[in-house]
């Protein structure tokens, strides 16, 4: 996002007071210090991961993209853009998930899927069949995004991007962890009991997914019948106004994000989920951190919707 779009989004999600706090952090240097520390930690993580993967015979893995930081044991930790390890208690997941079935939608490298499995759950991880299936405008806009991804991974095909961006990192972690998490390739709009091999799940988790969809309400309407008990959403939401709104943040041209489209406010999310049959919808917490490589401070709310 460009500066103007970031200001718009901050105003929509945080209000005037939040925008003032954000500006104050920049002037006092507190945010700058956080970013500097995060960059140092990230470089150490990159160096350690590269050294250990080479020493273990995995070879050069610099083409792989790691969305999540995952501790694979024996000192091997993936250098993910997002490190949720210290934030886990804030999500209010059940400590004991034995006997639970869990669907992790938009699973990426699989941090949450593996965490649910570690707690005893039977887990299905959902990711796209291809990065080309991301919600993107058709035509030159979409082609440019795919071209940039190919350049980032130093490959020549979308299939190779899929391997290095999504499937390869997940499979590497699943093998290292000796995990039994199942991977289902599907868009959120195409999920069904037949495709998933299960009629419903006790828990469905959506981490930063709705903002990347052209049709957030349609996505939720597909997931609602698949959820037997609790739908957990983690993403930026606003409490600023007392009418249900959804802010468009895709801009009028391509920017440095290219896949973020909508941010609903709290009331909008509550009403959509209630309309889809959830009895209670509550914000149970929030977590903040540094998005690595973009070097921005994020602030996410955690919503539990229960049947």
What does the pLDDT profile of the chain (307 residues) look like in tens digits? 544 455 555 555 555 445 445 544 554 567 788 888 899 999 999 999 999 999 999 999 999 999 999 999 999 999 999 999 999 999 999 999 999 999 999 999 999 999 999 999 999 999 999 999 999 999 999 999 999 999 999 999 999 999 999 999 999 999 999 999 999 999 999 999 999 999 999 999 999 999 999 999 999 999 999 999 999 999 999 877 789 999 998 988 887 778 899 999 999 999 999 999 999 999 999 999 999 988 988 999 999 999 9
**231 with 273: CB under 8 angstroms?**
yes
* CA pair distance 134, 219, nearest whole angstrom: 13
The H or E element containing residue 125 is: strand 122-127
| CA distances from residue 32 to 4, 148, 223, 300 in whole angstroms, order as listed | 20, 28, 39, 20
pLDDT of residue 255: 78
Residues 30, 43: Cα–Cα separation, whole Å? 20
At residue 20, the pLDDT reads 45
pLDDT at 30: 73
Q: What does DSSP say about strands 262-264 and 246-248: parallel, antiparallel, or unpaired?
A: antiparallel
* Side-chain half-sphere CA neighbours of 165 within 13 A: 23
- The reported pTM is 0.89
Query: How close are the terminal C-alpha atoms of the chain, in Å?
Result: 36
Separation CA 84–CA 102 (nearest Å): 18
Architecture field, domain 3-306: 3-Layer(aba) Sandwich (3.40)
CA atoms within 13 A on the CB side of 191: 30
32: its two tokens: 């700058």
Radius of gyration (C-alpha) of the chain in whole angstroms? 19
Q: Which of 270, 222, 223 is nearest to 246 (CA)?
A: 270
User: What does the pLDDT read at residue 5?
Assistant: 52
Whole-angstrom CA distances from 94 to 88, 97, 120, 123, 241 are: 11, 6, 10, 14, 32
pLDDT at 21: 53
Strands 280-291 vs 227-235: parallel, antiparallel or unpaired = unpaired
Residue 251, CB-side half-sphere exposure with 13 Å CA sphere: 17
Q: Is residue 238 classed as helix, strand or coil in its secondary structure?
A: strand
């Amino acid at each position: 996002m460009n500066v103007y779009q970031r200001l718009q989004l901050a105003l929509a999600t945080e209000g005037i007071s939040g925008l003032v706090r954000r500006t104050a952090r920049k002037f006092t240097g507190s945010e700058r210090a956080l970013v500097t520390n995060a960059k140092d930690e990230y470089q150490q993580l990159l160096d350690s991961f590269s050294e250990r993967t080479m020493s273990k015979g995995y070879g050069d893995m610099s083409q792989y993209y790691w969305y999540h930081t995952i501790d694979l044991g024996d000192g091997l930790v993936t250098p993910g853009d997002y490190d949720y390890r210290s934030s886990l208690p804030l999500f209010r997941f059940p400590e004991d998930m034995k006997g639970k079935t869990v669907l992790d939608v938009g699973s990426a490298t699989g941090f949450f899927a593996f965490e649910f499995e570690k707690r005893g759950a039977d887990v299905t991880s959902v990711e796209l069949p291809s990065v080309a299936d991301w919600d993107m405008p058709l035509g030159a806009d979409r082609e440019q995004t795919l071209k940039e991804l190919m350049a980032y991974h130093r490959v020549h095909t979308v299939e190779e991007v899929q391997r290095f961006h999504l499937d390869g990192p997940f499979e590497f972690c699943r093998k290292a962890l000796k995990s039994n998490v199942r991977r289902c390739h599907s868009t959120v709009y195409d999920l069904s009991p037949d495709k998933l091999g299960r009629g419903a799940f006790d828990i469905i988790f959506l981490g930063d997914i709705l903002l990347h969809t052209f049709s957030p309400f349609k996505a939720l309407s597909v997931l609602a019948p698949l959820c037997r008990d609790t739908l957990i959403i983690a993403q930026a939401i606003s409490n600023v106004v007392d009418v249900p709104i959804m802010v468009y943040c895709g801009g009028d041209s391509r920017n440095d994000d290219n896949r973020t489209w909508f941010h609903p406010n709290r009331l909008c999310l509550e009403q959509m989920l209630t309309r889809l049959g959830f009895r209670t919808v509550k914000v149970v917490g929030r977590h903040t951190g540094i998005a690595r490589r973009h070097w921005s401070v994020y602030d996410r709310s955690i919503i539990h919707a229960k049947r």
